[in-house]
Structure 1
Amino acid sequence: MRNEVKSASPKESPMSPKTTIGVLRTDTHPLSEGIRDSSESSDRSHRTGGKKFISCFLLATYYLLLSTCCFALDSPFWQSKGRAGYPGEYLITFTANARAAGLANAYTALSDDASGAYWNPAGLAGIHFIETSFLYTRLFLHTDYGYLSFVYPLDERNIFGLSVLALQSAEVEKTSQWSLSGVKFHELENVFFLTYAKKFNSFIDGGLNLKIVNQEIADYSTRGVGMDLGVKYHFSKRITYGLTLQNLIPAELQLNEEKENFPLNIKFGIICSYLKNRLLWSSDLNLLDPFGKYKVFYWSSGVEYKIFPLFVLRVGISYKEIAAGFGLKTNNFNFDYAVSLHRIDLTHRLSVAYRYGFLPYQEEKRLKEEKETWQKEKKADEEKLDGEKKKILLEKERIAKEQEITTGLILVKKYLEEKNYQEAQKELERILTLDPTNKEAKILNREVDELSRKDLAEKSYFLAKNFYEKKFYSRVLETLKKALEYYPEHEKAKILYFLAQGQVYLAERKYSEAKEAFFEVLKLDPKEEEATTLLRRLQTILEFYPSEGQSSQKEQKQ
C-alpha cells in the first residue's frame, strides 16, 4: 500500500512501489528558519529605536511585497500535482528549530547554534559553550516531528556535535486487495548526526556531518550512512556566505528489493546585517539533484529585527509558504516560536535552547567582554554627564550674558534721556563686545553716534556764536569747521560760517568775496536780516567807491 500526499516539489518523481510501500515522504511539512544573534550582551542602539524601527518595518514590508510576487510566477509555488516527494526530503525542506522556521528555513549562512548541523555543519564552529536544543511539532495527518541536538566545544577551534531527528507517522491499517487486515503499522524515520566543525581562521569555518539514517515501515527496516560537507565564509562584519553539500556521500536505503539513494543537494546562503546588527536578512537557494533526474530548485528568504536586546521578530517566505515568529533570548536560554501559512493548514513550531558550561578561555573572554562593556557604558555615562554639565554651564553663561546685555541696553536708553552720549557709547561698545550681532545694540549705536555728532556740532555752534558776538571772526571760522565736520547738515552753523567769512572779507576790503559770502547766507535763509543789511551797506560802498570793487577783483586775480 502507498500513503500518497501531494508534494510541493516543482516536478513529479515516480518511485518504485517496492521501495516506497507505506512511505510518508512529503515536503508539505516545511519549517522555517530562525536567526541566532551573535550573543551581544548589551546593545545600546535601542535608544534611537523609534526612527530605526519605522525604517526597518518599511524595509521588511517592501521585502515581503517583493517576495510575494513569486506567487504570481509560472514557476510553481503551490503544486496541484505530485507524488510522495524525494528520498530523504525531510532532511532538506523541514527544520531543526523555530528560529529558522520564522525565516522560511533560510539558515545556511547562519546555522550558529546547536541545531545548525541540519543546515550547515560549519556553523557549529562559532559556538564556544556547551549547548542543548530541542524542537517538537505536530505536522499534518498526525505526524510527529522532533529534533534534539547537543554541542560540546573541544577547544577554541574544534567543536563536536551530536543530533537526533525523528519523524513518525500516524498508525495506518494494513489492507489487501480484498479487505482490511486489522493490523496497524506506522512509518518511523530517524537520523543521527555526528558533527565535527573547525574554525580555520577569522574568515573560514568548515564542518562535516556523518549521518546514520534508519527507516522502519511495518515489518521492513533499513539503515544507511551518508555525509555532508559545509563551509562558511565571513566576507565582512555585515556579510557572511554559506555553502553546504548535503548527501555528498549519499545514504542508501533498501526496504525490499530496490535501493534508493538520497540525492545530492547544494545549498547556498547569504546573510546581511544592518543597523548595528539589529536588522538581519537571510536568503537560501537549494539545487536538489542538479546532475541527476530530479533537478529541483528551492528558495527561501527571511528578515529578523531585534526590537529589544531580549526580544526579536521574524518574517520569511519560501517557495511554498509564508512564515513568521518571535524569539526571547537571555545569556543562557532561548525560546522561539514560529507559525507557517501553508495551503493545507497552519503549522506551529516551538523550540528551546540552553547554554551552559563555558570553556575556561571562553569564560575568561566573556568576563573580559562584560568588563569592557561595563567600562564603555561607564565612560559613555560619564561623558554624557560631563556633556550635560557643560550644557548647564553654557546655559548659565548665556543667561548671565543676556541679563548683562539687557541691563546695559537699559543704561544706554537712560544715558540717551540724559544726553550723556559719551557714557552711552562706552556701554554700547561693551555690549557689542559681548554680542557683536546684537541688532538692538547696533541700532542704538548708530543713533548715539548721530546724536553725539549733533550735540558736538551744536556745542561748537554756540561757542562760535559767542565768538561772533565778540567779533572774533577768525575763531568763528575755525570752530564752525569742526562743527560742520561733526554734522554737515547743521544749517545755522553754515549761515554763521558764511556771515563770519563775509565779515573777514569786509575787514580785508575784499568786497566781491564778501558779497558772495552774504549771498550764500541768503540762499540758506532768505530772511536773514544781518546778511541783508550787510549786503545793502556793501552795495552802497560799491556804488560810491567803484574803484574799491575793481581793486578787490584785481587782487583776487593776482
Structure 2
Amino acid sequence: EDASAIYWNPAGLSALKYTDISSFYTSPRRDTSYGFTGIALPTKDSGNFGTGVAYLDTRDTRFINERYDTAGNSGVASEFMAVFSYARNVSRYWLGGANVKFIRQSVYNKSESGLGIDLGGIYNAGDRLKLGLNVRNIIQPAVRQKTRDTFYPVDITLGCGYRLLPADTWTLSLDVNKTPSRDVKFLIGNEFTLWKYLNLRAGFSDTDLNAGLGFRIYTPFGLLGIDYVYARSNDAASSVYPDTFHGAGFNLRFGERMSVEASLPENESELYEVMRIATEKMKKIRGDAELLVPGITQPFKAEKTDEPQQDMKDVIRELIRKYSGMAHESFNKGEFTESIQHWKVVLNLDPENIDAFSYIDAANKNIEQLGKEKLVNIKQKKIDNLLNQARYYEIKGEMREEFNVWQNILALDPENIEIKNKIRDKISKLKTRIRELTETRYAEGLKKYQNGDLQGAIWEWEIVLKLNPAHLPARNAMEKAKAELALKVR
C-alpha cells in the first residue's frame, strides 16, 4: 500500500490515504543495475493516481549479429520504462487498478519503443485475508528488432496475504507466478513489525532466498521509511551471476491527514455541532427528514443532486479522515477503548468502512487479552502474598494455619504443575508432622492428667484440637478434665 504498488499490483494504490514517494535500487547481476522511483497521489472522489520510472542497465554486453557471431562488439544494453497508473475502489470488497507503460529499449546504439498495459485486482476476503491478481503485459509491448517485433511476455501473478496478528504486526504472503517461458513459480514471504517502527522480512522461492528490514521514523516532511534487502540466488548459471546481492530504498509518506486535521473540530462535541449546523442547512435546502446528526440517531443519508449536498459530503469525508487518524494513533499507543470510540464515529459517518470493522475487532481482542493478563497479575499477587503468609506461619510453627494457606494457594492455581507438586509435597509433610505432633501432645496430656495436673492436661489437649479439631479422644478427655477441675475449685 505505497507507491511500489505501481510495480507489484496497481490495485494496491486504491488503499492509499497519503501522498507517497518510493524509490529502490539494486544490482542483481554483475555490471547490471536496476532502479525504480514512483509517486502515488490519492484524491477524494476520483480514485488514486500514480506514476513512476524504472531503468535497467547492463554494461559490457557482448552483442550477436544475424550469423550468431559476436564480431567482437560489446557495449551497453539498457531499458527505460515510464508508467502511469490509476486505481479505485470498485466496491466495498473489490479494488481495481491499471498501468499504461511506455518502454524504450536500447541495444548497441539502436533504440526502439513500445506501449503496454497491466491490470490488477485485490479482493478483501475478510478482516485479515486479501487476495490479489496482477497481469503484466495483458496488452503486450512490442519492440522492433531488425525485421520483426519482439513482444514482452504476459506475466501472471496470483497472491494472497494473511495477517496472523492484528494491526498488521505479522503478515504472511504466498505468490504464484507464471510466464509462457517458465514453469509455475511459488514465492513465500512474511513481514513482522516490532514497536511500530521496525519491519523484519524474509522470503524464499525455489531459486531465491532473501531477508530484509525496514525502519520507519516521523520527520517534519512526513513518515520516512528506509529499507534494505539481502538476497541469495541458487540459479547462478555462470560466474557473471553473483550468488548474493543487496538492495536499498526509501519511502516518504506525507500530506492529506496532516493538512486536513488543522481545519477540523478537535473533539466530538464540536463534531456534532458542525454536523448539526450542516444538517440544518441541508434540511432547508432539501426538506429531507432523513438528514440527521450522525451518531445520535442514524447514519447520514443524502443523494448527490446539488452543490450544497456535495459540500456536506466533503465535510463528512474530511471528518472520516480525521477520526480515522485519531483512531489509528490511539490504537498504536495501546489506548484501545479510545480507538474504538473514534472508529464508532467513523462508522456513524461511513457504515461500510472496512478499516473501522477491522480495527474495532482487533482492539476488542487486545482489550480481552489485557483483561486476561490483568487477572493473571492479580492472581499472581495473591499467590505471592499467600506464600509470604505460609513462610510466616512456618517460622512461628503454626502448622494448621500454614496448612490452610497452602490449600488456598493450590485452589488459586490448580493447573500449575510445578507449584502443585511443591504444595502437595509440603501439604503431605505437614499432614505427617501434624499427625505426629497431635499424638505426641495427646499422650503428653494423658501423662499430666494421670499425675493430677488437670490444667496442664487441658492445655495440651487444646493444642491437639487446634491441630486436629476432629480428634474425638482429646475432646472427650478435655471435657472430663474440665469437669473434674470445676469440682476441685468448688
TM-score bin (small chain): 0.5 to 0.7
Do residues 298 (structure 1) and 185 (structure 2) align? yes
Aligned equivalents of 2:16, 2:323: Cα separation in 1:
15
Residue 171 of structure 1, CA deviation:
4.8
- What's the secondary structure of 2:86's corresponding residue? strand
Q: Report the counterpart of residue 73 of structure 1 in structure 2.
A: none
1:310–1:187 Cα change, 3 Å: same
Deviations 1:337-363 (A, max 9, x none): 112222231121111111111343445
> 3-state DSSP class of the match of 2:470?
helix
Q: Name which of 245, 250, 255 aligns with 1:357.
A: 255
What does the per-residue CA deviation read over 1:187-241, in whole Å, with 9 as the maximum and x for residues that have no partner?
Answer: 2211111111112344221111111111122342222111111111121223221
Rounded Cα–Cα distance in structure 1 between residues aligned with 2:188 and 2:246? 19
Q: Which amino acid aligns with 1:451?
A: A
Aligned to 1:140, the other structure's residue is in SS state coil
Q: Do the aligned residues in 2 keep the contact of 1:135 with 1:148 (CA within 8 Å)?
A: yes
Aligned counterpart in structure 2 of residue 368 of structure 1, from 327, 331, 335: 327
Partner of 1:321: 208
Note if contact 1:302-1:316 (Cα within 8 Å) is conserved in structure 2: yes
Contact 1:148 1:164 in 2 (8 A): yes
Match of 2:20 in 1: 131
Q: How far apart, CA to CA, are the structure 2 residues paired with 1:238 and 1:220?
A: 49
Do 2:175 and 2:188's aligned partners in 1 also have CA atoms closer than 8 Å?
A: yes
Partner of 1:340: 231
Larger Rg: 1
Q: Does 1:309 find its partner at 2:196?
A: yes
Is 2:330–2:336's contact at 8 Å kept on the other side of the alignment? Answer: no
Distance in 2 of aligned mates of 1:308 and 1:138? 31
Question: Counterparts in 2 of 1:61-210, with a 5 A limit?
Answer: 112-155=1-44, 158-171=47-60, 185-210=75-100
Looking at structure 2, the residues matched to 400 and 295 of structure 1 have their Cα atoms a distance apart, in angstroms, of 73
Alignment pair present for 1:222 and 2:246: no
3-state SS of paired residue (1:445): coil
Amino acid at match of 1:325: G
Match of 1:19 in 2: none
Question: In structure 2, the residue corresponding to 1:259 is in which secondary structure?
Answer: strand
- Partner in structure 2 of residue 444 of structure 1: 468
Task: Tell me if structure 1 keeps the 8 A contact 2:208–2:231.
Answer: yes
Q: Give, as a single letter, the amino acid of the residue that structure 2 aligns with 1:446.
A: A
Counterpart-to-counterpart distance in 2, 1:397 and 1:299: 57
Which one-letter code corresponds to 2:249 in the other structure?
Answer: S
Distance 1:252 1:446, change over 3 A: same
1:435 corresponding residue in structure 2: none
Shift of 1:175: 8.8
Q: Structure 1, residues 21-45: CA drift from partner, whole Å, max 9, x if none? A: xxxxxxxxxxxxxxxxxxxxxxxxx
Task: Give the aligned residue type for 1:368.
Answer: A
Q: How big is the shift at 1:313?
A: 2.7
Aligned equivalents of 2:474, 2:377: Cα separation in 1: 46
Query: How far, CA to CA, are the matches of 2:462 and 2:61 in structure 1?
Result: 108
Q: Distance in 1 between matches of 2:169 and 2:40?
A: 26
Instruction: Report the CA distance between 1:418 and its aligned residue.
Output: 3.9
Displacement after TM superposition at 1:319 (Å): 3.3
Instruction: Check whether the contact 2:94–2:123 (CA below 8 A) recurs between aligned residues.
Output: yes
Classify 1:459/1:270 alpha carbon distance in 2 versus 1 (closer, same or farther; 3 Å): closer
Q: Distance in 1 between matches of 2:225 and 2:39?
A: 14
AA of the residue aligned to 2:225: N
Task: Give a deviation string over 1:514-550, Cα, whole Å, max 9, x none.
Answer: xxxxxxxxxxxxxxxxxxxxxxxxxxxxxxxxxxxxx
State how far apart, in whole Å, the 2-side matches of 1:363 and 1:156 are.
17
Contact 2:31–2:60 (CA under 8 A) maintained in structure 1: no
1:27-42 matched pairs, under 5 angstroms: none
The CA deviation string for residues 317-349 of structure 1, in whole angstroms up to 9 with x for no partner, is 223222222222335122221122222311211
Q: Which amino acid aligns with 2:81?
A: V
Structure 2 spans left out of the alignment, 5+ residues: 261-317, 339-366, 402-437, 446-454
What is the SS of the residue equivalent to 1:263?
coil
Contact 2:461 2:478 in 1 (8 A): no
Contact 1:328 1:335 in 2 (8 A): yes
| TM-score between both structures, scaled by the size of structure 2 | 0.57
Cα pair 1:157 1:200 within 8 Å, conserved: no
Question: What CA distance in whole angstroms lies between the structure 1 residues aligned with 2:163 and 2:64?
Answer: 54
SS of alignment partner, residue 335 of structure 2: helix
TM-superposed CA distance for 1:315, in Å, is 2.3
The aligned residue for residue 156 of structure 2 is 266
d(CA) in 2 for partners of 1:138, 1:166: 12
Return the alpha-carbon distance in structure 2 between the equivalents of residues 315 and 128 of structure 1. Answer: 27
Q: How far has the Cα of 1:243 moved from its partner?
A: 0.8
**Residue number among 251, 260, 281 corresponding to 2:172 in the alignment:** 281
Q: CA deviation at 1:387?
A: 8.7
Q: Deviations over 1:111-166 (max 9, x none)?
A: x2211121211111221111111111224241221101101101278211111111
**1:374-389 → structure 2 map (5 Å cutoff):** 374=333, 376=335
- For 2:172, the aligned partner's letter is W
Q: Do the aligned partners of 1:221 and 1:255 also contact (CA within 8 Å) in 2?
A: no
Q: Given the superposition, is the C-alpha separation of residues 119 and 180 from structure 1 closer, same or farther in structure 2, using an over 3 Å criterion?
A: closer
Distance 2:53 2:60 in 1: 22
SS at match of 1:315: strand
1:257 aligns with 2:134: no
Instruction: Calculate the TM-score normalised by the size of structure 1.
Output: 0.50
- State how 1:366-515 maps to structure 2 within 5 Å: 366-371=325-330, 373-374=332-333, 376=335, 418-420=456-458, 424=462, 441=466, 443-447=467-471, 449-457=472-480
- Describe the superposition over 1:371-412 as per-residue Cα deviations: whole angstroms up to 9, x where unpaired: 355472699799889997897689669967997997988999
Change in CA separation of 1:156 and 1:350 when aligned onto 2, cut-off 3 Å: farther
Structure ranking higher on relative contact order (CA contacts 8 Å, 6+ apart): 1
RMSD: 4.4
Which protein is richer in strand relative to its size? 2
Structure 1 pair 151/410, CA: closer, same or farther in 2 (3 Å)?
Answer: closer
Aligned residues of 1:130 and 1:356 also touching (Cα < 8 A): yes
Q: Separation in 2 of the partners of 1:459 and 1:364?
A: 80
Quote how far apart the aligned CAs of 1:184 are: 6.6
Matched residue, 2:451:
none
8 A Cα contact 1:121 1:206, kept in partner = yes
**Matched AA of 1:371:** S
Partner of 1:117, secondary structure, is helix
Q: Distance in 1 between matches of 2:93 and 2:226?
A: 29
Closer/same/farther in 2, CA of residues 395 and 236 from structure 1, 3 Å limit: same
Unaligned runs of 5+ in 1: 1-111, 429-440, 465-558
Contact 2:224 2:253 in 1 (8 A): yes
